[in-house]
Chain A
Amino acid sequence: MEAAEAHRAEGSLTEHDLLSGRTSGERLQLTASGEWTADNAAVLDRLVTATAPAEGAVSKVDIDMRRVEKLDTYGAWLVERLIQGATEKGAQARLIGLPERFGVIVRTVHQNADELPPAPERTNLFIFALATIGRNMVEVGKSIALIAQMFGAVTMAFVRAVMHPTTFRWTSLVNQIDLVGWRAVPIILLITFLIGAILAQQGIFHFRRFGADIFVVDMVGILVLREVGVLIVCVMVAGRSGSAYTAELGSMKMREEIDALQIMGLDPVSILVLPRIIALIVAVPMLTFLGSMAAMYGGGLVAYLYGGISPEVFLQRLREAISVDHFIVGMVKAPFMALIIGIVACVEGLQVEGSAESLGMKTTSAVVKSIFLVMVLDGVFAMFFAAINL
């Protein structure tokens, strides 16, 4: 009775009379009709759910299928569910007058009925948080180990290349220097020029209050040569070339190109990683030099236009304020930072697994990690140079 009423309530929602029911004593008689297909599945889903008889209410369920015009997997599944539901409630369910052409699909779906295995259980939030922290710590440990390992592998490859220079990939090196060095020049010049200009403007603006405008030359000179030039270049290179390395190696890993190299007895580190890292070690100092000069030029220009410090005065002051030491400090750091960027990018690239998502994640993490390590290294250098009074 309940079932039939439930159906009436639901049934009025729809124009199609897809499923109707009548109870006579112990027997529930259901009549299915019309199109039991994907398009009606949402309505049918509700009807079938509402039609489930209450526990022990009926002992027999007959489903009359004679008037069903179309039936696909969705319809067949819902018939299956109707039968299952009745059986669970202790009733005997059967199909009556199933048209022959639907026999195969109903049987196939019946045979393939299965339950979704339960999703892995969620642990409580506190434990989950602790587990995440723990897992991340292990990850940090692992990535340090991987970087050390790659450093070793690159050193070995380098030694081998020095011993047998003919095996080194010279073309690849030249190509990479073109990509990461030469083609980066315009953007590096532009950005460092702007940074130099901004530094000078800020310096003049604040120093002017003490009448110490001229010290802006000291500030721009020292900052640019020691820190800003090399850092800006490294951040740009990490974002521009580090990410490209990771994406290139990662997609080669995905398409099993790296495995192909390996089974041909070739060392992927010698062939792919070493030329890329050497290219960075060559390119970053050059870019640092060009970048520093552009920043000084930007600073000088602003000092002239905004601060009224003429180029002659600027250069004169620069000569007094800075020594070649500052320049050396900046340039010495550059190849080490290039090495860090290259190694991190290649490690991440070789860590990529099957999916496109993993490629994206590794590329992001390569950029973040290498910029972070560049900053750490810069700090270490600062302490080192302070200790030797440079």
Chain B
Amino acid sequence: MLDFTSQHTTTSDVAIRVRDLVVQFRRQTVLKGLNLDVYKGEIIGFVGASGAGKSVLTRTIIGLVTPKSGSIQVFGRELTTADDDERQQIERRWGVLFQQGALFSSLNVLQNVQFPMREYLDLSQRLMDEVAIAKLRMVGLPADVGRKMPSELSGGMIKRVALARALALDPDIVFLDEPTSGLDPIGAGDFDSLIRTLQQTLGLTVFMVTHDLDSLHSVCDRIAVLADGKVIEAGPMSTMLASEHPWLKEYFRGKRARGVPGLVRGE
């Protein structure tokens, strides 16, 4: 088995620890004994072929899919055996950006961002308005977007509002499922640097599923590769470029990767 814990050995550095995770849908086994460590304060990028199970892994960690066996620890607490109270305490500490944004279509932008605040915190309307506006501004949207409905927003704006909502409670971890898919390259680049800035400002741990070589290269501290229901490789970009796994060679050193500066050097 690969050694994922070469540099970090203490448990206190680990935000998410997954061990021997097995997830099954009827007859199909999607994750087959997956192991993974995500360290505090890092941006980890997940890659893998379409249908490899990246979304399933994300949804399993955040509790939307029940694993068949295995253990998931978040901040040292075991989630697979946690009761409702414990779960809620942990859930309060993460934010999720779904692939399609998943904004509530009957609420306006400001109400969407305030939704988790209403659930978890007992704040005055004034403070909620002020903080929600600050969050919108931090994800690069003007304050007057606050009164718009989700159906009036463009794809990029929806992702930004969804990010603002994911950050509403100042979480310690954010899960991003393909945050830049469907954005134009400039918009995607902006979004990447936004995630980097927010991560540094708020001290976030970021778990990001992405297919964007640019974002892998520019924002991720580490990259994990999912194939055959397992993490087959994890490490910084240099590890990926040095790997001899055929899928990785094609992915990082194939034709597609050539246009990306920094990757060519690895050849």
Chain A residues near B (Cβ < 8 Å): 37-39, 41-42, 45, 72-74, 77-78, 81, 104-105, 108-109, 111-117, 119, 353-358
Chain A min CB distance to B227 (Å): 31
| Given known A37-B170, A74-B170, A115-B133, contact A42–B105 (CB-CB < 8 A) | no
Residue of B nearest to A43 (CB): B122
- Tell me the residues in window 92-146 of chain B with beta carbons closer than 8 Å to chain A beta carbons: 105-106, 110, 120-124, 126-127, 129-131, 133-135, 137-138, 142-144, 146
Q: Do residues B137 and A114 form an inter-chain contact, with CB atoms below 8 A?
A: yes
Q: Would B105 and A114 count as touching, CB distance under 8 A?
A: no
Residue pair B151, A73 in contact (C-beta under 8 Å): no
Count of B interface residues, CB-CB < 8 Å: 33
From A45, A73, A81, A356, residue with most partner B Cβ within 10 Å: A73
Q: Hey, which chain B residues are within 8 Å of A113, CB to CB?
A: 134, 137
Beta-carbon contact of B202 and A116 below 8 Å: no
Q: How far is the CA of A42 from the CA of B170 in the complex (A)?
A: 15
Q: Is the CB of A356 within 8 A of B105?
A: yes
Query: Which residue among B124, B131, B151 has the maximum number of chain A CB atoms within 10 Å of its CB?
Result: B131
**Chain A proximity of B27: nearest CB distance (Å):** 29
Bound Cα distance A357, B152 (Å) = 13
Classify the secondary structure of B's interface with A. helix
Question: Considering the complex of A and B, which 3 residue pairs feature the smallest CB-CB distances, nearest first?
Answer: A354-B151, A112-B137, A355-B105
A366 to B170, CA, bound (A): 44
* With contact pairs A37-B170, A116-B110, A355-B151 given, residues A45 and B134 touching in the complex (Cβ less than 8 Å): no
Tell me the dominant secondary structure on chain A's binding face.
helix
Q: A38-B121, A72-B170 are in contact. Are A117 and B143 (CB under 8 A)?
A: yes
* B5 surroundings in chain A (CB, below 8 A): none
State whether B138 touches A117 (Cβ < 8 A): no
Known contacts A119-B147, A354-B151, A355-B149; A77 and B130 CB within 8 A of each other: yes
Extra contacts besides A41-B127, A355-B151, A358-B151 (15): CB < 8 Å = A39-B121, A41-B121, A72-B170, A73-B135, A73-B138, A78-B127, A104-B200, A108-B201, A109-B134, A114-B142, A115-B133, A117-B143, A117-B144, A355-B106, A356-B106
| Residue of B105, B122, B144 with most chain A CB atoms under a 10 A cut-off | B105
A358 CA / B146 CA spacing, docked (Å): 20
User: Least Cβ distance of B62 to chain A in Å?
Assistant: 19
> Who on chain B is nearest to A114 by CB?
B143
Determine if B143 and A42 form an interchain contact, defined as CB atoms under 8 angstroms apart: no
